[in-house]
Amino acid sequence: MTFRLRNASFPSSRLPFSTWKMILADLAVGALASLALPPLYCLPALALGLLYLYRCTQDAASIRQLALHAFFFGLGYHTAALSWLTNAILTRAHDFWWAVPIAAPGCALILAPFIMVPVLLCRLMPEGASRMVMLAALWTLADMARVFIFTGFPWNPTGSVFELPGLLGDILIQPAAVIGVDGLTLVAVLCGLLVWHGRKARLGLIGAVCIWCAWGAYSLTHPRLSSVRNPVVALLQGNVRERDILSRDGAMQAFRLYLRLTNEAIAKARDLNEDRGLVYLWPESGFPGLLDEDEPARRMIAQAADGAWGMIGSDRRDADNRFYNSIFALDESGQIRAVYDKSTLVPFGEYQPRFIPFNLLPGQLTPGNGLATWSLPALGAVGPLVCYEIIFSGHVTGAKRPDWLANVTNDAWFGNSAGPRQHLATVRIRAVEEGLPVVQSANMGITAAFNGAGHEIARLPWGTADSLVLALPSPHQPTIFSSYGRIVPVSLCVLCMLLAVFLGYRRR
């Protein structure tokens, strides 16, 4: 399979039609490669996209031409992968109608250089295995570097392509307990490139995949559990539309709905006859107001909860009139026992970067003081997280390791699209990395629970108003990744770069 691009030229004024066709090809192949990401998991698409990029490193007539190839590939890749962002803009189209056509491409413009730079640098290596290994290492490091954009945007790491539904996906993601999702990115890109490197490389990959699967299967069947008994959790999903939350009448109806779901869920939880703590979770913005300033509402919640403790997503206002996206811990009487303020905010969604000279958002939130671990009766040792915070590999637990993680989110913004499914994939991989059970309570979906191996215990599908009640499993012993974090995949990338230099030296 060969792509001949040497005859294309890029004058500084007007590009020839043949060049425009080539740019369209770059965009199309990039979009095709994104099909490997959740929720489609079309792995051959990633291998084809990587082959196209690699051939561009061989056939591009100049560095400038190669840069354009890689940039437009990245633009197509991230635009397709983030197309669901348009749904969030349409939720408030009367305010942000002008952003509808530019939401996904605008983010892709920022992210495309994270593909372009590795492609340019790997051209320094000789063609063949050395260049392929170097590209995989640099791609992974660039993917990891996305945490440094604004507050960070590590959405859709390439390693998430291994999170296939069911048992096969459970097996494939087990090495994340050692190397994290970024290590899976390195493996995915290496496999996607080396599969084209000849018969010997393919046979080697088959052997490596067999070892990989054996490791994953053993990890699943021989978990190293701690003796901690986690609580029974009741996850609530109200299926409330965002525009209803924003209206007064809709907010009152949503509050009554969550009171009813709480009462029903607690009744189901008591039927389990488990001698454990009992806690219910309302999703992000589940309470449509300021919970700490509304004592009557807290009494009503406590009455509906019938003696159970709760974690409730709500906004909060401090004495300086600053607003926070928060989680409140309520005891059986409705008193607030702990508050967690979201510390990593969504750029352009919850805050506006300072370099923009004009105001884009009607209101901005204030970040909290950082991650925390609550140790409270009924709840045990829990790490509270709000929505976006769960996507940061190696940065989801506080100074003290919790026994489980609770993520509350409001994915109603994204509609019934790839967005909520990609978000859920990050929840699953965090469970494997940390060796902790993770639950997610979402307003419209998807609400789910995973054990410390990333195996899905139960879920509520998108668009369902219901509760999910389960006895949360025990945490695993601390994983290698939870102990050392992203230094593990960084070290692997450095070793791959040294290997690439060695292979290139031998060839020369």
pLDDT in tens, 97-120: 666 678 889 999 999 999 999 999
Rounded distance between C-alpha atoms, residue 364 and residue 445, angstroms:
25
Residues 239 and 154 reside in one and the same domain: no
pLDDT at 10: 38
* pTM of the entire predicted model: 0.92
pLDDT of res. 246 = 66
CATH label of the domain that carries residue 345? 3.60.110.10
Cβ atoms of residues 59 and 3 within 8 Å:
yes
Same domain, 127 and 34: yes
Is 238 a domain residue? yes
Structural domain for 171, as ranges: 17-222+487-507
Element (H, E) at 75: helix 63-81
Confidence class for position 243, pLDDT limits 50, 70, 90 = confident
Total domains present in the chain: 2
The whole-chain average pLDDT of the chain stands at 91
Which tens digit of pLDDT belongs to each residue from 307-356? 999 999 999 999 999 999 999 999 999 999 999 999 999 887 788 777 66
pLDDT at 6: 39
Across the range 150-169, mean pLDDT stands at 94
Q: What are phi and psi of 373, to 5 degrees?
A: -125, 120
> Known catalytic residue: 268?
no
pLDDT of residue 415: 84
How confident is the model over 298-309, as a mean pLDDT?
96
Q: How confident is the model at residue 96 (pLDDT cuts 50, 70, 90)?
A: low
User: How would residue 251 be classed by pLDDT, with cut points 50, 70 and 90?
Assistant: confident
In a domain, 136, yes or no: yes
Say what the pLDDT of residue 484 is: 96
CB 384 within 8 A of CB 369: no
Check whether residue 205 and residue 120 sit in a common domain.
yes
Look at residue 362 and give its three-state secondary structure: coil
Q: Verify that 285 and 320 share a domain, yes or no.
A: yes
pLDDT at site 13 = 39
Question: Which position among 242, 284, 389, 433 bears the catalytic label?
Answer: 284
What one-character DSSP code corresponds to residue 39? T
Q: Is residue 331 part of a domain?
A: yes
Same domain, 236 and 334: yes
Co-location of 23 and 111 in the same domain: yes
- For residues 201 and 316, membership in a common domain is answered with no
Per-residue pLDDT, averaged over 251-261, amounts to 93
- Per-residue pLDDT tens over the stretch 172-224: 999 999 999 999 999 999 999 999 998 999 999 999 999 999 999 999 999 99
The confidence band for 9, taking pLDDT boundaries of 50, 70 and 90, is very low
Known catalytic residue at 342: yes
Most confident of 42-46, 91-95, 200-204: 42-46
Helix axis angle, 43-59 to 113-122, nearest 10°:
50
Looking at the predicted structure, is the pLDDT value of residue 497 above 70? yes
pLDDT of residue 373: 97
Burial of 172 (0-12, 13-18, 19+ CB in 10 A): buried
Asked if residue 323 and residue 196 are part of one domain, the reply reads: no
In the set 107, 387, 493, 496, the catalytic residue is 387
> 284 an active-site residue?
yes
Exactly one of 122, 191, 342, 389 is catalytic; name it: 342
Residue 293's CB is within 10 A of a number of other CB atoms, namely 12
> Does residue 194 lie within any of the structural domains?
yes
Same-domain status, 274 and 404: yes
Does the pLDDT of residue 11 top 50, yes or no? no
pLDDT of 368-413, one tens digit each? 999 999 999 999 999 999 999 999 999 999 999 999 999 999 988 8
Identify which has the larger pLDDT, 87 or 448: 448
Q: Which of 145-154, 342-351, 477-486 has the highest mean predicted lDDT (pLDDT)?
A: 477-486
How large a percentage of the chain has pLDDT more than 90? Answer: 79
Question: Are 342 and 437 within one domain?
Answer: yes
Q: Where does the pLDDT of residue 291 fall: very low under 50, low under 70, confident under 90, or very high at 90 and above?
A: very high
Please state, in angstroms and rounded to a whole number, the distance separating the CA atoms of residues 395 and 415: 27
Task: Indicate whether 467 belongs to any domain.
Answer: yes
Please give the DSSP secondary-structure letter assigned to residue 376: E
237 and 375 both lie in a single domain: yes
Query: Do 412 and 268 reside in the same domain of the chain?
Result: yes
Q: How many residues in total does the chain contain?
A: 508
